[in-house]
Structure formats: structure tokens, C-alpha cells
Amino acid sequence: MLVNAHGGNYVLSNIVQETNLTEPRMSLFPRGREWQRARDRADLVSDAHGDMHAGEIETSILLHAEPSLVRAGYETADHDDGERPFLLTEGMKAYTEAGVIGFPPYATAE
């Protein structure tokens, strides 16, 4: 079991898929369904598309588990670039300079 606290990681999904090519050997958790369940149960303000990277859910996890890892200024670091049609070809740099696509100001340790 590979536990990944970074939602939507394409690379790990592909590694797990390739590892299971001949027989089941590995599982990746959480996946989309579990992330959505966590968002629903936590009554998060943002949705999964808008809160893609370093946003409400990831910052909330860090504030709860290891707050020293959260950079000062996260309270004003929200960034919503709407649609990201070339994300896979151009990367996040095409859509954000700070590395945030989401809403860290909504994050809480609770």
C-alpha cells in the first residue's frame, strides 16, 4: 500500500499501474473517491478542481499534522486560474508563479 498525501499525483498512479502489470502487488491510497469523501466530511469551501495544489485541503492537512511546514502568508495566497487546458503539456508554471492553485486561506487545522 502506497499512501500519498498529495492528491491527483499522475506519476504515482502510473507507477502503481505498471507495478501491477503481471499481478496485483500495490495499491495507491487515497484516490479521487476518498479525497472527495474527505472534502465532503470536512465541509470544505472549495471544490477539487479549483483547489488543485497547495490549497484548502492540502494546507488543512499540514496545519493539522505539521503546522511548521506551512509557509507564512498562506492566508493570502489563494490563486484561481480557472481552466487549465494545457496543464499536462506546460505544467503548473503556465498557471501560477507561486505554486498555488487553490485556496489555502480557507484551510483550518480542524
**pTM, rounded to two decimals:** 0.83
Q: Do 63 and 98 have their domain in common? A: yes
Provide the residue count of the chain: 110
pLDDT at 57 over 80: yes
Output the pLDDT for position 7. Answer: 64
| Domain shared by 17 and 60, yes or no | no
Q: Could you tell me the pLDDT band of residue 10, with boundaries at 50, 70 and 90?
A: confident
Give per-residue pLDDT as tens, 88-99: 899 999 999 888
If asked whether residues 19 and 47 sit together in one domain, one would say: no
Q: How far is CA 55 from CA 13, 16, 27, 52, 76, in A?
A: 21, 25, 25, 7, 11
Q: What is the pLDDT of residues 15-46, one digit of tens each?
A: 999 999 999 999 999 888 889 999 999 999 99
Q: Are residues 53 and 1 in the same domain?
A: no
The number of folded domains in the chain is: 2
* Domain region containing 9: 1-30
Whether the predicted pLDDT of 5 surpasses 80:
no
